[in-house]
Chain A
């Protein structure tokens, strides 16, 4: 597609529920990133894929967070046993390849945990 597509746009989850957020990057983009943006803050790095390989997951806040990109295209960020502090906008970005700082961001998924 022409841009980075994220779904759902909004998600309300009850505390303890598992959620899955989807990212469809720009076709052909090798690099894919997940960021978390809390209210009033800047995007915080979560994890990075180069094709299907997860090269950096240093930003994942806990082992409840898991990301995958099995075929090097679509990626899913999964959060298990959601907690209120997980409420944030989750942004996905893609770029042509390693060393490219030309990220294109999706519109994000706003997760609210109640």
Chain B
């Protein structure tokens, strides 16, 4: 029973273009949604979050959109840069723990 799903295992985007990473969830009781970024041999690092009462949060090149009726969120990165190449995990927070999706590997090529 996977409560947080990332259906695209990989995404390849040209530098300067927009990257859109998607995430679906099943539990309407989640309080917060987060995106983490992970480089090889490192732990996940927090990127951006959104409260369940909001529908958009923006931080520089990163924007997260939340569609509660569809139980869907997305991360937009614009413009994409080669340094953005990493695995991105969507996570949902409920009570006292984070539940992660399976990740999407983003590759930004020149």
Q: Please list the residues of chain A having a beta carbon within 8 angstroms of any beta carbon in chain B.
A: 4, 31, 33, 35, 40-45, 48, 55-56, 91, 93, 98-99, 101-108
Asked if B102 and A41 make an inter-chain contact with CB atoms under 8 angstroms apart, the answer reads yes
Question: With A42-B89, A42-B103, A43-B89 as given contacts, are A101 and B43 in contact (CB-CB < 8 Å)?
Answer: no
Interface string of B1-45 (1 = CB under 8 A from A): 000101001000000000000000000000110101000011111
Q: Please list the residues of chain B having a beta carbon within 8 angstroms of any beta carbon in chain A.
A: 4, 6, 9, 31-32, 34, 36, 41-46, 49, 89, 93, 96-103
Q: Which chain A residues lie closer than 8 Å to B101 at the CB level?
A: 42
Q: How far is the CB of B44 from chain A (nearest CB, A)?
A: 5
Q: Which chain A residues lie closer than 8 Å to B46 at the CB level?
A: 102-104
Q: Which of A42, A43, A101, A104 contacts B34 (CB 8 A)?
A: A101
Q: Chain B: which residue is nearest A55 at the CB level?
A: B96
Q: Chain A: which residue is nearest B41 at the CB level?
A: A107
Asked if A101 and B44 make an inter-chain contact with CB atoms under 8 angstroms apart, the answer reads no
* Chain B contact residues, majority secondary structure: strand
Q: Which chain A residues lie closer than 8 Å to B96 at the CB level?
A: 31, 48, 55-56, 98-99
Listed by A's residue number, 11 A-B pairs whose Cβ atoms lie within 8 Å are A33-B98, A40-B9, A41-B102, A42-B89, A42-B101, A43-B89, A48-B97, A101-B49, A101-B93, A105-B44, A108-B42
Asked if A106 and B102 make an inter-chain contact with CB atoms under 8 angstroms apart, the answer reads no
Q: How far is it, in angstroms, between the C-alpha of A10 and the C-alpha of B3 when the chains are bound?
A: 30
Q: Which chain B residues lie closer than 8 Å to A45 at the CB level?
A: 97-99
Q: Chain A: which residue is nearest B32 at the CB level?
A: A101
Q: Which of B32, B41, B97, B102 contacts A40 (CB 8 A)?
A: B102
Q: Which chain A residues lie closer than 8 Å to B45 at the CB level?
A: 105
Q: Which chain B residues lie closer than 8 Å to A93 at the CB level?
A: 43
Q: Which chain A residues lie closer than 8 Å to B9 at the CB level?
A: 40
Q: Which chain A residues lie closer than 8 Å to B89 at the CB level?
A: 42-43
Q: How far is the CB of A72 from chain B (nearest CB, A)?
A: 16
Q: How far is the CB of A82 from chain B (nearest CB, A)?
A: 22
Q: Chain B: which residue is nearest A38 at the CB level?
A: B102
| Interface-centre pick from B9, B45, B89, B100 (highest chain A CB count, 10 A) | B100
